[in-house]
Amino acid sequence: MKSEINVTALSVFVFFFALVTVMGFVAARWRRPKTLAHLDEWGLGGRQFGTWITWFLVGGDFYTAYTVIAVPALVYSVGAYGFFALPYTIIVYPFVFWVMPKLWRVAKDTGAVTAADVVRGRYGSRTLESAIAVTGVVATMPYIALQLIGMAAAIKALGLTGEFPLIAAFVVLALYTYSSGLRAPALIAFVKDIMIYIAVIAAVGLIPSQLGGYGAVFDAADAAFKAKGSGSILLAPNQYVAYASLAFGSALAAFMYPHTLTGIFASRSGRTIRKNAVLLPAYTLMLGLLALLGYMGHAAHLKLGSNNDVVPALFQTLFPSWFAGFAFAAIAIGALVPAAVMSIGAANLFTRNFWKAYVNPQATHEGEAQVAKIASLVVKVGALLVILYLPTQFALDLQLLGGLWILQTLPALVFGLFTGWFTAPALLTGWAVGLLGGTWLAWSDGLKPLHALALGDLHFTAYTGLIALIANIVVAVVVNAAARPAMQVKSPVNP
């Protein structure tokens, strides 16, 4: 990949970055909020986002800059296995259609801002509330750091070196998120997604024509995998269970993250969420097209320092400078939207489930909003320090564990929406077993997402997070069945 500064590409990049920066600050006046000194307004946009805003916001923080960089990089590295993100983003929307409107209603009726608020209202347990909140914050931090990796890849492709460009970009992000709250990423998401759609459609339309067509692209990828002795453009039979379990587990985890739930809670109604569950699969089409860029990297015979460079290198090599600058701006802005929503989601958790729960129970609405603003700054600074001072692999490993951890919050958050049978101690025990057991399995496997299992003569590998979730649910059921008769079960708030 070229390393010298391209003035044309840099100029286009700076223009679009400046445009969204202005939009980020203007967003404070967008849709005329009565005040931003209230957590519902700063952290959830007043709970009034309609279908299109929710579509761009949820899609914008679900399909991140790291997705744009990492999915093609994984396909470039391992081939068909990297397409697991496609079935995962198809499976997730029936789940959203069925579960999320009910969760939204409970949050709306009880004034809940976070998943931990919902759990506290449902079970009346501070301990379970804290467990859900800690898991959400810890799982989100490395996810924000990964957005910086995506942004750093785009900045590096522009020929900019050193840490200052990345720090400057994140300072801008921090300031307008502090000022405008969730309205800033919601407004910027329109620009970000339109830019990414343009870049991806141009790439999948024009790049194959320069490489001899899609047949030549697949032939080149197949030859490259055979030459290096690993990877394939088709799944091997021993990968079927691993592929399916990874897709299913990832789908269940996706809407347990604080940032995706923030988009759900900010929706105007349950009907808005159902409409989005129907419309959001359009992003899956984009993801499939995007993943093909990994194969195109082989056909273009790129010389890469890292697999993460495949998308920037394709744009840099096969497009004019002005369009490469446009694509790099799309990737960088694609980091700003999810990073802002993630920091807001983590800040909401800190404010409602730590600060107000344990430090200042009498905090006013203004006080909550102020604490959340400061917490969002701290979260971003923490993610930036991870990238600047720790190896990138550290953030990747933590993000892997983060997915496993956040999946363990599903029983406490979702089961209570449909049944009053479970009790807080049983769910807390299941959460602890899933979290600790899953972490031990992942650690013993060298921080890999898959674990080898043997059931009699049947040997297969499966997603560690899903194995941990099954253990979590089994333990919760057993403990509940054993202990419930002796307990005075608290009546559900929202049966």
- Which of 304, 275, 278 lies closest to 76 in space, CA to CA? 304
67 vs 322: CA distance, rounded Å? 23
pLDDT per residue as tens digits for the range 21-42: 899 888 877 776 777 778 888 8
pLDDT at position 465 is: 95
What count of other Cβ atoms lies within 10 Å of the Cβ of residue 227? 9
pLDDT at position 96 is: 94
Would you say the C-alpha torsion 114, 119, 125, 127 has a positive or negative sign?
A: negative
For 352, which DSSP code? I
Q: Mean pLDDT in the chain?
A: 88
Backbone angles phi, psi at 134, to 5 degrees: -60, -45
492 vs 495: CA distance, rounded Å? 5
Residue type, 32: R
Average pLDDT on 10-31 reads 88
Average pLDDT on 309-326 reads 92
Helices (H) and strands (E) counted in the chain, each on its own, are 21, 2
User: Which region among 193-202, 324-333, 387-396, 445-454 has the lowest average model confidence (pLDDT)?
Assistant: 387-396
134 vs 141: CA distance, rounded Å? 11
Q: Three-state DSSP class for 300? A: coil
pLDDT at position 98 is: 94
Average pLDDT on 116-143 reads 93
pLDDT at position 1 is: 60
For 363, which DSSP code? -
pLDDT at position 266 is: 93
Higher pLDDT among residues 59 and 395, named by residue: 59
Percentage above 70 pLDDT, the chain? 95
pLDDT per residue as tens digits for the range 351-383: 999 999 999 999 998 999 999 999 999 988 888
Q: Three-state DSSP class for 460? A: strand
DSSP labels, 78-137: HBGGGGGHHHHHHHHHHHHHHHHHHHHHHHHHHT--SHHHHHHHHH--HHHHHHHHHHHH
pLDDT per residue as tens digits for the range 44-54: 888 889 999 99
pLDDT at position 65 is: 74
**Which pTM was predicted?**
0.89
